[in-house]
Amino acid sequence: MSTLIEGLFNGISIGSVLLIAALGLAIVFGLMGVINLAHGELMMLGAYATFVVQNVFKPLGEPWFSFYIIAAIPVAFIVSAIFGLILERGAIRFLYGRPLETLLATWGVSLILQQFVRSVNWLLIICLGIFCLLFFGGMQLLKSRADWESMRTKIVSLLLPLAAGVAIAFYFLLSQNSALTNAWFSARNVDVTAPAWLRGGVEVLGFQMPYARLFIIALTILCLMGVYWFLQRSAWGLRIRSVTQNRTMSSCLGIPTAKVDALTFALGSGLAGIAGCAVSLLGSVGPNTGQNYIIDTFMVVVVGGVGNLLGAVIAALGIGILNYLIGSGTLALFLTTISAPQSMIDFFLFFATSSMAKVMVFALIIIFLQIKPAGLFPQKGRTAEL
């Protein structure tokens, strides 16, 4: 009995990490059809935001410090959502309807973000600030001119090197100042320490449920409910759903589809930020943090089916429990107790390591897709596609 509950709990806790990480992805992919390979990096930003909040709270001392994680969640959400918004406005909106190109572009973004957290320092921020101010400010100023459209390319090609030149000049002027050039995070990992009340765990039926895991499960449920409420009960949720169903018609009816796109993407990115905050309680926070999650989360979305939150939930829990049962050898152990054939036990023992469990789960996913190619809950439609 205790083994069963432990297995279930551990499976669910693995699944809930997968789910919270995949939730944002499911929304962006499901509602907009955009494959966001930078999703992991948005999680990483959320984790770094948690780190920053932790350091801000540190000097405040107890009892404030204990609750930094509560403050970190909205901060992580906002930071990632803002980056997501910039990403959508800056690149992805030009690529709607071209999913493969989006995939490549977001991969490029993920590379940039990784290097960005490695090298970011005040000087870099100042340089970028100056550049943006000159370039976008100049554009805004000149936009009022009557012949703007015809002058556009000329102005841009003039402003761009100018702004960049000034920014680079500033860099060289200030580069001697070591206070400005010290990297914020550097390439090394940073430590996020869970507050005391999230360390340790509660004893249930002879095994310990870690508080951090319980916290993540609760957070996942909260996020799920929040997303459900937002999509089903709020006005913007209604708009998002209508755009998903029929973009052209929604546009005709006066729904600002561009705004809806931006909002959806920001929401998905923000959820990635919360996920980053959650995984910082379990693992390391470093430039590569996001990379570890990206494929697993995509598997969740693929198995769950597009545009269906319930599918994602079931898929995440299923993959989590399977991963745990196979990887920890519980399945092999169980088969021994019911005296299953030896060959079967050996088979599962072979896969009872963390690396091999992944191999097995992937094989199962492929088999599953032979039966249900479009995931658990396929989108119903009358097209010849799928």
Between residue 229 and residue 268, which ones bind other proteins under the rule CB under 8 A? none
* Residue count, binding to other proteins (CB under 8 A): 107
Among 355, 380, 381, 382, binds other proteins (CB under 8 A): 355
Q: Tell whether residue 81 is a contact of other proteins (CB under 8 A).
A: no
- Residue 132 sits in the site that holds other proteins (CB under 8 A): no
Stretch that binds other proteins, among 70-78, 96-104, 137-145, 258-266 (CB under 8 A): 96-104
- As measured in angstroms, the least distance from the Cβ of 313 to other proteins is 19
Pick one of 16, 17, 24, 255: the residue that binds other proteins (CB under 8 A).
Answer: 17
208 binds other proteins (CB under 8 A): yes
Out of 151, 204, 295, 344, name the contact with other proteins by CB under 8 A. 295
> Are the C-beta atoms of 92 and 150 separated by less than 8 Å?
no
Q: Which of 52, 78, 103, 139 binds other proteins (CB under 8 A)?
A: 103
Q: Does 101 bind other proteins (CB under 8 A)?
A: yes
The answer to the question of residue 346 lying near other proteins (CB under 8 A) is no
Q: Pick the binder of other proteins from 77, 324, 348, 377 (CB under 8 A).
A: 324
138 binds other proteins (CB under 8 A): no
What span, in angstroms and rounded, lies between the C-alpha atoms of 218 and 101?
Answer: 36
Residue with smaller CB distance to other proteins, 194 or 255: 194
Nearer residue to other proteins within complex by CB, 205 or 253: 205
Among 56, 65, 181, 349, binds other proteins (CB under 8 A): 181
Question: Whole-number minimum distance, CB 254 to other proteins, in Å?
Answer: 29
Residue 105 within binding range of other proteins, rule CB under 8 A? yes
Q: How far apart are CA 173 and CA 375, in angstroms?
A: 56
The backbone torsions φ and ψ at residue 210, rounded to the nearest 5 degrees and listed phi first, read -65, 140
- Does position 377 interact with other proteins (CB under 8 A)? The reply is no
327 binds other proteins (CB under 8 A): yes
Phi, psi of 253 (to 5 degrees): -85, 5
To other proteins, the closest distance from the beta carbon of 87 in angstroms equals 10
- Shortest distance, position 343 Cβ to other proteins, whole Å: 19
CB of 23 to other proteins, least distance (A): 17
